[in-house]
Amino acid sequence: MLIGFDASRAALANHTGTETYAYQLLLAMANLTSADFRLRLYTHQPPQPAKWPQGDFVETRIIPFPRLWTHLRLAAEISRHPPNALFVPAHALPLYCPVPAAVTVHDLGYLHYPDAHTPFQRRYLDWTTRRHTRVAQRLIADSTATKNDLIQHYGANPETIRVVHLGVDSALEPVEDERVVNAVKARYGISGNYLLYLGTLQPRKNLLRLLEAFERVSRRHPVSLVLAGGKGWLYDEIFDRARALGLGDRVIFPGFIPEADKAALLSGAVAFVFPSLYEGFGLPALEAMACGAPVLTSNVSSLPEIVGDAALPVDPHSVEAISDGLLRLLSDSALRQSLVGRGKQRAQNFSWEKAAGQVMEILTHIAEQRWPE
């Protein structure tokens, strides 16, 4: 059986949520290949990650194209040389897809928080998701919360949706060597104790309320707030709010954090703060748990499903609730230690190997339904 895999996002150099999903799932699925399960990877450019799957049962096809790569170039490739099934790990199936297909829908944030997306993004994501509910043989949802959203907002058939939780990179673990942690902190201009957020800087991550909550906390605790991640849609207001609150150098914006530095930065944090308004999964919270950081997160969308009782939940719409949660974490060492222990155990429940096996089963099923042996 030959499975086509849209690896265009996995092939990019800098990975955020969807790129991490595509890349880690690709690596795990490649480890499961055999003469009976082969992978053909499609990319629009030479793969940028140093580690890229190779072997007798993995083929990479680089098919450059200037625009509309998915809908024109990828569609043409699978028409000329069809795999038994196609897997698209992020939102958009080709307009013409002559083979059975499964597509991952990560979240419907563009419906819940439309102001956090450009008008074009909203229209495109709404159109592609609506189309997928009609033409894809299987929709893969990151969480039960996303599955329920697909049913509620698009009338998707529950029988066509499979929930596959993301995994945590096995390389992410607590960094015990303080010299390594201090070197990474120095690289990003961090000194002393700090609270850490790691993710795209955009409105739905609720960073404006986090800044207001931190301003209250900073009056009582000598701690910094590190907001690490690339700039997203409408990020300017986040920088403006930090200045307006007079936080000065108490708030640090180090930019995008490469994978090589992530574990040390998470390990050194007093706590990881993730008060997002909406998440399809919330992988950063699990990654922080894997690295031994106590986690504060929201009590909405998919996050309760994913973190269980291993994080401190707060109402993300309340500055007071976020502030109170931060104060509890900073003042209660027993609570922090309890969350660290529970968090490490929780993170172990999520692996890319498990996710890859589930996706393989889905792809095998839809391929055999089309071409039974």
Query: Taking the domains of the chain in order of start, what are their residue ranges?
Result: 2-167+351-370, 178-347
Least confident residue range of 4-18, 277-291, 332-346: 4-18
- In this structure, what are the phi and psi dihedrals at residue 79, rounded to the nearest 5 degrees? -75, -40
Give pLDDT, residue 341: 98
Residue 69 is given by DSSP the state I
d(CA 188, CA 172): 20
Quick one: CA dihedral 321, 327, 329, 333, positive or negative? negative
The residue-averaged pLDDT of 262-277 equals 98
Give pLDDT, residue 91: 74
Report the b/e string of 150-184 with b at 16+ CB within 10 A.
beeebebeeebbbbbbbbbbeebbebeeeeebeeb
pLDDT of 102 strictly over 60? yes
Query: What is the DSSP secondary-structure string of 88-145?
Result: ESSS---SS--S-EEEEE---HHHH-GGGS-HHHHHHHHHHHHHHHHH-SEEEESSHH
d(CA 139, CA 353): 19
Map tokens 């673990």 to a residue.
Answer: 173
The residue-averaged pLDDT of 46-58 equals 90
Among residues 353, 335, 71, 326, which one has the least CA distance to residue 223?
326
Classify domain 2-167+351-370 at the CATH topology level: Rossmann fold (3.40.50)
Please state the pTM of the whole predicted model: 0.92
Q: Tokens standing for 49?
A: 């990650």
Give pLDDT, residue 135: 94
The residue-averaged pLDDT of 344-371 equals 94
Give pLDDT, residue 204: 86
The residue-averaged pLDDT of 86-105 equals 94
d(CA 281, CA 109): 11
d(CA 204, CA 119): 15
What contacts 298, CB < 8 A, 6 or more positions away? 206, 274, 275, 276, 277, 279, 313, 314, 315, 316
| Mean residue pLDDT across the chain | 94
Among residues 101, 79, 93, 81, which one has the least CA distance to residue 40?
81
Q: Does domain 178-347 have CATH number 3.40.50.2000?
A: yes
Q: Do the two domains 2-167+351-370 and 178-347 of this chain adopt the same fold?
A: yes
